[in-house]
A and B are shown apart, each in its own frame.
Chain A
Amino acid sequence: MSAVLDTHGHDDHAHHPTGIMRWVTTTNHKDIGTMYLWFSFTMFLVGGIMALVIRTELFAPGLQIVDPERFNAMTTYHGLIMVFGAIMPAFVGFANWLIPMQIGAPDMAFPRMNNLSFWLLPPAALLLIVAQFTPGGGAGVGWTMYAPLTVQAPMSMDLTIFAVHILGASSIMGSINIITTILNMRAPGMGLMRIPLFCWTWLITAYLLIAVMPVLAGAVTMTLTDRHFGTTFFNAAGGGDPVLYQHIFWFFGHPEVYIIAIPAFGVISQIIPAFARKPLFGYTSMVYATASIAVLSFLVWAHHMYTVGMPVEGQLYFMYATVLIAVPTGVKVFNWVATMWRGSLTFETPMLFACGFLFLFTMGGFTGLVLSIVPIDVQLHDTYYVVAHFHYVMVAGALFSAFGGIYFWLPKWTGKMYNETLGKWHFWLSFIFFNMTFFVQHFLGLAGMPRRIPDYSLQFTEFNVISSIGAWGFGLSQLLFLYIVVSTIRSGKKAADKQWDGADSLEWTHLPSPPPYHSFETPPVLK
């Protein structure tokens, strides 16, 4: 290892081009992490505007601001952009910033591939946005892109398919980089069972990504050849079957939800011990629970499609297997609670977001259990109950965890402290408006309001009004977040090297705040 490191003698001053070329050509994991995070925040705003179009249209029954085709395009691209453009790149940004510092490596294993992984994202995002302005408008097919609708969709579908290909390639390269870094580049003495849990969750997530992103690429490739090259994978007239698409898609899609959730678990597993001032309870069981969730995620895909007409034996199998996932997930939740038990707790903003995550993600998990039960799911399939469920795990789960992570590591990354009062305001506004938006959607779903429809019956009006006001409140609260981050970078007070006294991973104990451009060029000495 040292043979590689000795070739670079500089350690505390950076040699890099300045201006825009610094960012285009950079191979530094910290620069790339920063770009991932800003990119994902930008896409979060774009996807958020689409969400506000949806919620504004649903403020009142009848058609107000968009026609049904545009509305369906909004639900489609809101989903795709939030999943592939906002949440996933945000956690890849965390991975780039943190994994090398937490395992004592100088950089990622393949710095140039890292640069390529990032720079594939903006063109893909551009394709998804430009698709709105092509003849025929955006494809109103849902983020799941079910055949046969996709086979008949306008040309924006082709742009979408190409964007998914590019995003997939980017994710796969990023994953290869992360796995190689964690497996091969740990500092001497940093055994696999000593790395911080955030690194473990990313190691497992990266394997999931490598296993399922190519399957999604295959599914959209089949859609593409069905559209243009005369194949009939999903076209009944040629002997194809649209249900086949759903099987292939959800073979990707179910692990995908864990790809989003597992790094969030990792961030929470760093924050809670730091503010409880206790080591994480049950580190080993956390690792095994995460790995079990990952393995089980491959075996439960058809619980998304109970209503396609599968035999009752199939429904029973997928129901029991899905319920089984509650066990390792429960292990994790109880371990987090046990970490807090009798800790010296303080509630700074990162901890508030972690507690919000714990509370709301568990609720999302419970509604997931409700939906896993076949007879109930048959009633609730494609209603707002499902929408409420997955926003509890995606927004209150993954997004809150990302916010918590930003507040937690911002002092380390920038060397400056954010405004704690404003941070708490951001948390409480987000928490209240989030619940205002999505809690009532459970009731809408139970009452039978279908998802992805721009109009609704009059009896749903009150809850939709509450939900839409909540959505605007939630959206505007995020501008406060932007202000907090920008003002921290510009004029935050100096942060300590170990800003959180309970934090114990290497980036806190061995590196100053902010860390030098090149850190750990000589591996740290571990006790």
Chain B
Amino acid sequence: MSLAAENRKLLLKLTVIAVGMFGFGFAMVPFYKAICNVTGLNNLLNADRTPVNTQVDMTRSVTFQFDANTRGTTLKFKPLQRHVRMHPGEMTVIEYEVANLSEVPVVGQAIPSYGPKTAAGYVKKLECFCFRQQRLEAGEVRRMPVQFVLDGDLPRDVNTITLSYTYFEVNAAAAAPRAGGES
């Protein structure tokens, strides 16, 4: 084979690698989601399993604070209780209220986060409005519950946990239904 032909062959092989790596970048998207699912990382949108040990630990109590933010939307969003004091293992339900004050229907979704972030693994949400999107008609005001249990294994030095929701407006293109996985 002549040198020019050999060079062209190598060019082709290397181009295939480059194109493949471009694809690999995109393949990391589902791969990342699969890893998060398997390891239980970043499990924001699925309900947690009820803890096996539902014994209420009356010896300690934890202050739970509730926070609400909005991003890129005119919706009004707030918790109906600012804080509760509870025992680990105790089933708790509180409500948030979202109001669509505009004159058009809006689709939105809340994303939770925790402070301290290590608490996330111990807050077991059995039911939450954040697992799905909400469609709010013009002028609609809706109350939405979140039901959760605090795991008794919560480290003893954590006395206060903040549960913060950010409410996003889901634009039309992104409004494709997003299933909550295994729930």
Chain A positions near chain B (C-beta within 8 angstroms)? 1, 3-4, 109-110, 172, 175-176, 179-180, 183-185, 210-219, 222, 229-233, 235-239, 241, 243-244, 247-248, 251, 309-311
Chain B 1-30 interface mask (CB, 8 Å, partner A; 1/0): 011101100110011011111111110110
Minimum CB–CB distance from A524 to chain B (whole Å) comes to: 17
- A215-B22 contact in complex given A110-B11, A237-B168, C-beta closer than 8 Å: yes
Determine whether the beta carbon of B2 is less than 8 Å from that of A212.
Answer: no
Q: Is B163 an interface residue (CB 8 A)?
A: no
Separation of A309 and B174 alpha carbons in the complex (Å): 26
- Given the known inter-chain contacts A176-B14, A237-B174, A238-B174, please indicate yes or no for A184 contacting B7, CB distance below 8 A: yes
In the complex formed, the residue of A with least CB distance to B176 is: A238
Among residues of B, the one whose C-beta sits closest to the C-beta of A241 is B42
Interface size range of chain B in the complex: 35 or more
Question: Could you say which residues of chain B place their CB within 8 Å of the CB of A217?
Answer: 22, 25
Q: Provide the residues of chain A in CB contact with B49, threshold 8 Å.
A: none
For B173, list chain A residues within 8 Å (CB).
229-231
Rounded to whole Å, the gap between the CB of A384 and the closest CB of chain B is 25
Q: Contact: B28 with A251, CB < 8 Å?
A: yes
The answer to whether A237 and B3 touch (CB under 8 A), given A179-B14, A218-B22, A243-B42, is: no
Q: B38 at interface (Cβ–Cβ under 8 A)?
A: no
Please name 9 pairs of A and B residues whose Cβ atoms are closer than 8 Å in the assembled complex, sorted by A: A180-B10, A211-B17, A214-B22, A215-B25, A236-B111, A236-B166, A238-B174, A244-B32, A247-B32
Classify the secondary structure of B's interface with A.
helix
Residue of A nearest to B109 (CB): A237
Interface string of B33-49 (1 = CB under 8 A from A): 00000010110010000
B7 touching A210 by the CB < 8 A rule?
A: no
CA distance A247 to B30 in the complex (A): 13
Name the A residues within 8 Å of B174 (CB-CB): 230-232, 235, 237-239
* B156, CB-defined interface residue at 8 Å: no
B85 CB–A CB distance under 8 Å: no
Given contacts A179-B10, A311-B39, contact A233 B29 (CB under 8 A): yes
Most buried by B among A175, A210, A229, A233: A210
* Chain B residues with CB below 8 A from A231, complex form: 173-174
- Taking a contact as CB atoms closer than 8 A, the residue among A185, A219, A238, A239 that contacts B3 in the complex is A185
